[in-house]
Structure 1
Amino acid sequence: MVYHYAMEPHSVVADFNDEGITVWSSAQHPFQVRGDIAKIFGLHPTKVRMVIPFLGGGFGSKSYTKFEPLVVALARKARRPVRICNSVAESMLTVRRHAARVRLKTGVKRDGTLVAREAEIYIDTGGYADNGPQVAMRAASRVLGPYRIPHIRTDAYAVYTNTGGAGSFRAIGAPQTIFASESQMDQIAARLGIDAAELRLKNFLQKGEELRPKLRGMDADLASNLKTLVRASQWKRRSKKKGAAMGLACGATNAGATPVSVAMVRLQPDGSLHAFAGSTEMGQGVRTVLSQIIAEELALPLDAIRIGGADTQVTPYDASTGSSRSTTLMGTAAQRAARDLKSQLLKIGAEAFHVKPNQIRLEEGAMICGEMRMTFKEAVSRRFGGSGGELIGHGDVGPEITGTLPVFWEIGMGTAELAIDEETGEVKIKRYVSVADVGKAIHPEGCVGQEEGAAMMGIGHTMFEQMIYEGSELVNSSLVDYRVPRFSDVPEEFHTVLVENKDGPGPHGARGMGEGGLVAVAPSITNALARATGLRIKDLPLTPERVWRALREKK
């Protein structure tokens, strides 16, 4: 089991008075938390206000309700505001990733065609359910990989144990099950004498094909993505070298969560624009991306746009911030809000210029037609006959964006090359190459940062991160004992390739990303270790002691 290790632990401030409840929280899903608090205290949701500032990281650890109701109860009892900020050790006991045990049995023809898969999955949800049942359901699908398997049976169980609770963690249920699935795919390839990449290409789902009944068909070009990875990593040449410690892995996750998001933009009398969206900024760059989408639609400079944090009394509804959904869903809502505002501006401009709206273009915060020009500030003034007033654009997204879930499929693929010291068991990552199918990169640098950040998180889980219990006591709850990646652990060569097919359901063909970069890391590393040494390790992390002992036992 591993911990999210966001830089900021969980923290909550609550005030309970005659007017209602106000909570300042590090919550990823403010509207869901508002609903829980209202239900617990018997109030209408409008009497509960959630205010969310910048978060110091989340990765799922701040999804859903944690201890907000307890702080509200204390504030009610004390009759004054109450603040609780966890220590790291306390946050580690508040939530962690589900540990998992996975058994796989896969039927395959001699030519490499997959025909059947049976999976049995047990996830350790700790002492409380949190979203353990949901993680189990996602794990049951994600263990199938992105492959065409005609006959499937998966049984997934969320098991209660005497440990801290487990909850959402970047790509819920996927890192654990894809590790098992992709490890077995390499075992199948080796047994049949088929190249690992070719085996995957043979069995990939085609666009539109269903992974299983009741799930939307695959919307990404998996074969093209893998071919991109094969080229970028020089797989055909480098993996064939004698003793090559090189491995490959692929994963796909049904992402997007609940497709309900609402956004609003307000054009002020001075020509500046305020955007309102309930997505939580926690370092992933959602405010920047939403600002870019709005700026593109309205031809406004970025510095003219202001976007604040979630405040359930002010910002419109958003189902959640997670499952890589914000660019796709909230981005679409923001784009529609900007287009609504744009249509209002064009109507004002058409009346002023005595032309049709489609004859007007927007440029640098102004409407232009031939030699005629009207700034947005002038448009607001013309509409309201003075210096007051504002134009408001509304946009929303509902289930109609894709119909059947998931909203989109998130793709993660990677190759790892290792240096292995068989005398000490130490494993170092020399080269890591990942491919992220983003549809359209709204902010390319941000996309690369998300992909490489996810990969580094995966390296930590694969190589050294592990929560250790003695009985019911967690004994390594500090950075002294709980090892996270350092700069010295960054691969010597680290490459990310963004695939832009513009085939996602989001703005300009974007699809969500940020979780897919995690799922291929563990299996690509263990596959590389197996290719070089013949050693198949099925338990993580790959500490030097574990690798050394396994090498000794093999000899």
Structure 2
Amino acid sequence: MTDDKFRTIGKHHPRYDGMDKITGVARYAADVEIPGMLHAKVLRSPHAHARVLNIDTTKANALPGVCHVATRSDFEGMQPVYGWLIKDQPVLAIDKVRYVGDMIAAVAAEDEATAYRALDLIEVEYEPLQAVPSIEASLADDAPALFEEPQIGFVNRYGTGASAVKEPRKNVCYQFNYKTNDSDVFDGCDHVFEDCFSFSRMQHFFLEPYVAVAQWEGDQVQVWSATQSPFLNRKELSRIFQHPEEKININVFYVGGGFGAKTGCKTEPLAVLLARKTGRPVRLAFTTQEQLFTNTQHAATLILRTGVMNDGTLIARQSEILLNSGAYSDASPLVAEKVGYRIPGSYRWHHIDTKVQCVLTTQVPAGAFRGFGGTQAAWASESQIDMIARRLKMDPYDLRVKNLKNLGEAFVPGESTIDSDLKLGLDLVCEKLNYRNRSRMRGHGMGLSVVLKDGGGVNKAAHAVVKATTNGGIIVNSATLELGQGAHTALTSLVAEVLNCKWEKVTFAPVTTNSTPWEQGTFASSSTTIMGRAVMEAAEQVKQKVLAFAAQDLD
């Protein structure tokens, strides 16, 4: 983009959310205060794996200022479990706890101090069970099953060569498979290299905690949440509480970072449960420590078997990937499909055979984390490409360029095409880094990698409405959330560009599921590319209607 081509895009103007944040008037879910609001706190399991024999809340309920102590006994008429594809995580522990930090009970009280005191008065009787803290321990023949019965859930439908199985074996909640052509091509390879890579889990550690405020009045449910997926959460709450979706409204203000962890339900179901039981608004905000007990990135073991010719031509790749899903499935099926589609990298193969298993362990549940499996796949795939280059005594650049897919070539058979010139991009980077003349001193190095987001898997739709007011103001109504990434600045800039108006005239409407157009969620780094297209098309329609009206009225 050049400055002379665009009127608004590429020009300097303040961030849309900048003034709110630097002056302290920006609102977050934790700032919501409603008259009569209660405060909730959660009792968590000290055991990695145990059967819950009895929960006695008598003393806690008797404490002055306590309005309700929620346990599994409050689930009548509910489907008290949630998850993306597999609904296996309970709102509160039902039969067992499956990791240290699993939620057992929750107290709604007049203030936080009283709620904390009440937690100490809850008596829980456990029967400790064998823990399975690692992938290896969980897959052992004598390992205990974390779930004795199949869980509610479904399998996504995929394109050519891809398939999945729900709960294919003990302690595996989901398996994704991808295969093209015949494995016989391995027999003709000059070399077959097999390498194993380990990837540790990491924490999202955003500044704003998981927080939700819920209010249940009559048959109307209002929720204020720090979530990345208000519409998906509304659907989950409707199923959990067997309550009409149109009677549940989720409101989202600014979100203080998410990085994937705030997709799907976290605090919302428990806040709504307590609001229904007490008849009063309830605020549930986790502490920073509780954040560590809620969601992480997937640790993984990736075994890659790659066939290659002497001249560096890549022929086949067989991948076996084990994701540590923790105690519940959360977004593991989605991460599995993404790491499965991405493990071949951006290279041309005659044969691909990928199997990804989501292994349940007695660890904190793992979910979406910046790239949905892309980081695990890129680390293993690009590391092995470098290793193969060294074994063949080739420059890593030359090996990559020889095998890179071309612009317009299908990412994998049956899926969308490569939409950028990867070789040109790599050449530009190498030129800027002076790669060919790089230092080769001992202890000095320069690495290359080519990482892209795949075109495989399920789609991501976006809807937007753009309105013009009578005084020339513009309102953008979109469910894309401002997480600190500048999405509202980008989207309002695009609208101003299409309508040829001042950027300051464009307002971003509050996100509320009752009136905001539906969107899957703000994740996968897709706001500008996908929602951006939606707001541009909506703005173009406004432009044409205004021009048509003006032509008729001013004729």
Q: TM-score, normalised by structure 2?
A: 0.62
Give 1:325's aligned residue.
Answer: 526
Counterpart contact for 1:258–1:319, Cα < 8 Å? no
Counterpart contact for 2:462–2:519, Cα < 8 Å? yes
Measure how far apart 1:92 and its partner are: 1.5
1:481-536 C-alpha deviation (Å, 9 max, x unpaired)? xxxxxxxxxxxxxxxxxxxxxxxxxxxxxxxxxxxxxxxxxxxxxxxxxxxxxxxx
For residues 83 and 158 of structure 1, what CA distance do their matches in structure 2 show?
A: 33
Q: Say yes or no: does 1:301 pair with 2:466.
A: no
Counterpart contact for 1:257–1:323, Cα < 8 Å? no
For residues 64 and 296 of structure 1, what CA distance do their matches in structure 2 show?
A: 34
Identical positions, percent: 36
1:73-102 C-alpha deviation (Å, 9 max, x unpaired)? 011011101001111111121111000011
For residues 270 and 76 of structure 1, what CA distance do their matches in structure 2 show?
A: 43
Which range is displaced more, 98-107 or 211-220? Answer: 211-220
In structure 2, which of residues 485, 508, 512 is the aligned counterpart of residue 284 of structure 1?
485
Counterpart contact for 1:125–1:158, Cα < 8 Å? yes
Q: Say yes or no: does 1:169 pair with 2:369.
A: yes
Counterpart contact for 2:246–2:514, Cα < 8 Å? yes
| AA matched with 1:102 | L
Counterpart contact for 2:267–2:285, Cα < 8 Å? no
Give 1:90's aligned residue.
Answer: 290
RMSD: 1.5
Measure how far apart 1:131 and its partner are: 1.2
| AA matched with 1:207 | L
Give 2:303's aligned residue.
Answer: 103
Counterpart contact for 1:33–1:65, Cα < 8 Å? yes
Give 2:468's aligned residue.
Answer: 267
The ranges of structure 1 where at least 4 consecutive aligned residues each deviate by more than 6 angstroms after the TM superposition are: none
Q: Say yes or no: does 1:59 pair with 2:59.
A: no
For residues 241 and 217 of structure 1, what CA distance do their matches in structure 2 show?
A: 40
Measure how far apart 1:243 and its partner are: 4.9
For structure 1, the 5+ residue unaligned runs are 355-555
Counterpart contact for 1:280–1:309, Cα < 8 Å? no
For residues 205 and 414 of structure 2, what CA distance do their matches in structure 1 show?
A: 35
What SS does the corresponding residue of 1:211 show, helix, strand or coil? Answer: coil
For residues 344 and 293 of structure 2, what CA distance do their matches in structure 1 show?
A: 31
What SS does the corresponding residue of 1:65 show, helix, strand or coil? Answer: coil
Give 1:41's aligned residue.
Answer: 241
In structure 1, which of residues 32, 36, 40 is the aligned counterpart of residue 232 of structure 2?
32
Q: Say yes or no: does 1:122 pair with 2:322.
A: yes
Counterpart contact for 2:223–2:249, Cα < 8 Å? yes
Give 2:391's aligned residue.
Answer: 191
Measure how far apart 1:233 and its partner are: 1.1
In structure 2, which of residues 415, 418, 433 is the aligned counterpart of residue 218 of structure 1?
418
Measure how far apart 1:269 and its partner are: 2.2
Measure how far apart 1:72 and its partner are: 0.3
Counterpart contact for 1:281–1:309, Cα < 8 Å? no
| AA matched with 2:298 | H
What SS does the corresponding residue of 1:248 show, helix, strand or coil? Answer: coil
Alignment CA distance shift 1:91-1:18 (3 Å): same
For residues 60 and 306 of structure 1, what CA distance do their matches in structure 2 show?
A: 26
Normalized per residue, the structure richer in helix is: 1
Alignment CA distance shift 1:209-1:160 (3 Å): same
Measure how far apart 1:283 and its partner are: 0.7
Counterpart contact for 1:120–1:154, Cα < 8 Å? yes
Q: Say yes or no: does 1:251 pair with 2:448.
A: no
| AA matched with 1:248 | L
For residues 370 and 548 of structure 2, what CA distance do their matches in structure 1 show?
A: 44
Alignment CA distance shift 1:205-1:70 (3 Å): same
What SS does the corresponding residue of 2:293 show, helix, strand or coil? Answer: helix
1:371-409 C-alpha deviation (Å, 9 max, x unpaired)? xxxxxxxxxxxxxxxxxxxxxxxxxxxxxxxxxxxxxxx
| AA matched with 2:538 | A
Q: Say yes or no: does 1:315 pair with 2:516.
A: yes
Measure how far apart 1:258 and its partner are: 3.1
| AA matched with 2:313 | T
Give 1:378's aligned residue.
Answer: none
| AA matched with 2:403 | N
Give 2:281's aligned residue.
Answer: 81
For structure 2, the 5+ residue unaligned runs are 1-200
| AA matched with 2:430 | V
Give 2:217's aligned residue.
Answer: 17
Measure how far apart 1:189 and its partner are: 0.8
Counterpart contact for 2:204–2:297, Cα < 8 Å? yes
For residues 509 and 242 of structure 2, what CA distance do their matches in structure 1 show?
A: 29
Q: Say yes or no: does 1:337 pair with 2:538.
A: yes
Give 1:347's aligned residue.
Answer: 548
Q: Say yes or no: does 1:143 pair with 2:343.
A: yes
Counterpart contact for 1:197–1:248, Cα < 8 Å? yes
1:347-387 C-alpha deviation (Å, 9 max, x unpaired)? 12212443xxxxxxxxxxxxxxxxxxxxxxxxxxxxxxxxx
Measure how far apart 1:257 and its partner are: 5.9
